[in-house]
């Protein structure tokens, strides 16, 4: 496996279900992200993890619970979601060791996404 792998690719769940999205990166990166793309909206940052530590939560509701057990894996635990949470959830990674702007540190590598439908 290479790059950033997300599973499952598609998920349908009811509002009372509990499910998880998984992301794995094989790039040796040390920062990982969850982005969300809702219909007709731009990609929006949800969470940032840097060396396994959460460094940013972009005002995401608590029904979304991220977990980063190590620098290669990132999970998004879902519970009591709403239909408006239906979206494409994209995981991404980058290397913070690249330093400042302009040298590729902000070049995110994305996974293919998990398409979530909440009924």
Partner 1 sequence: DQQVKQNSPSLSVQEGRISILNCDYTNSMFDYFLWYKKYPAEGPTFLISISSIKDKNEDGRFTVFLNKSAKHLSLHIVPSQPGDSAVYFCAACARGSTLGRLYFGRGTQLTVWP
Which letter, b or e, does each residue of 20-42 get, where b requires 16 or more Cβ atoms within 10 Å of its Cβ? Answer: ebbbbbeeebbbbbbbbeeeeee
Contact 55, 48 (CB under 8 A): yes
- Contact region with partner 1 (CB under 8 A), list: 13-21, 60-68, 71-79, 108-116: 108-116
CB of 112 to partner 1, least distance (A): 5
Is residue 76 at the binding interface for partner 1, with CB under 8 A as the rule? Answer: no
Residues within window 15-34 making contact with partner 1, judged by CB under 8 A:
31, 33
Residue with tokens 């608590």: 62
Closest distance to partner 1 from the beta carbon of 45 (Å):
6
Nearer to partner 1, 66 or 113 (CB): 113
Shortest Cβ 24–partner 1 spacing (Å):
13
Question: CA dist 108 to 34, 45, 79, 91, Å?
Answer: 11, 12, 27, 9
Q: Are 91 and 116 within 8 A, CB to CB?
A: no
Please give the Cα distance from 61 to 59 (Å, whole number). 7
Using CB under 8 A, pick the residue from 53, 62, 83, 102 that binds partner 1.
Answer: 102
Contacting positions for partner 1 (CB under 8 A): 4, 6, 31, 33, 40-45, 48, 50, 55-56, 90, 92, 94, 96, 101-102, 105-113
């Amino acid at each position: 496996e290479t790059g950033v792998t997300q599973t499952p690719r598609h998920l349908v769940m009811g509002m009372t279900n509990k499910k998880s999205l998984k992301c794995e990166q094989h790039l040796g990166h040390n920062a990982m992200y969850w982005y969300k793309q809702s219909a007709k909206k731009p990609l929006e940052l949800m969470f940032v993890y840097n060396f396994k530590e959460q460094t940013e939560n972009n005002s995401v509701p608590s029904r979304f619970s991220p977990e980063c057990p190590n620098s290669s894996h990132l999970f998004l635990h879902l519970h009591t979601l709403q239909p408006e949470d239906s979206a494409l959830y994209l995981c991404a990674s980058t290397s913070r060791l690249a330093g400042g702007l302009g040298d590729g540190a902000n070049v995110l590598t994305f996974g293919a996404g998990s398409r979530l439908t909440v009924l």
